[in-house]
Amino acid sequence: MKVIRFLTGLAGAVFMGTGVFLLSDTGDVTGVLVWLAGALLLHDAVIAPLVLLVGLLVVRGGRRGPVRGALMAAGALTAVALPVLLRPGATANSSVLPLDYPRNWLLALAAVATVTALLTAARGLVRGRRRPPS
């Protein structure tokens, strides 16, 4: 387990170094830093508290963890997709954003919901088998 943690940390450090290298190659560093600060603020001030509150209010029993995880994934997908979802109309160059991004975002959210439902159902079945018959 320690080897996996070390390799995961090493991979993370390599990716962060790659990001810093690519950021230094960007001409508009201020714009990127403002976007990153906005993403951090959106996550910490809106998405995370909302996920925790919904998980607390809506879900009972042992299913709270998977639902919170699904809500966090849905929030992250939405935060990443917001620039494309809120873009103003069609672009002059049709190859800039050639896909149907709102549809793909909804498909990704449906996939998260499906995996969460399957995981919750599987956990319920496993817990149901562990209980002794009454």
Q: What is the mean pLDDT of residues 10-35?
A: 85
Looking at residue 123, what is its pLDDT?
Answer: 82
Any idea what the Cα angle at residue 33 is, between residues 76 and 91, rounded to 5°? Answer: 70
Q: How confident is the model at residue 12 (pLDDT cuts 50, 70, 90)?
A: very high
Q: What is the mean pLDDT of residues 75-104?
A: 78
Contact assessment for residue 75 and residue 55, using Cβ atoms and an 8 Å cutoff:
no
Looking at residue 15, what is its pLDDT?
Answer: 93
Flag whether pLDDT at 63 surpasses 70: no
Predicted structure pTM score: 0.57
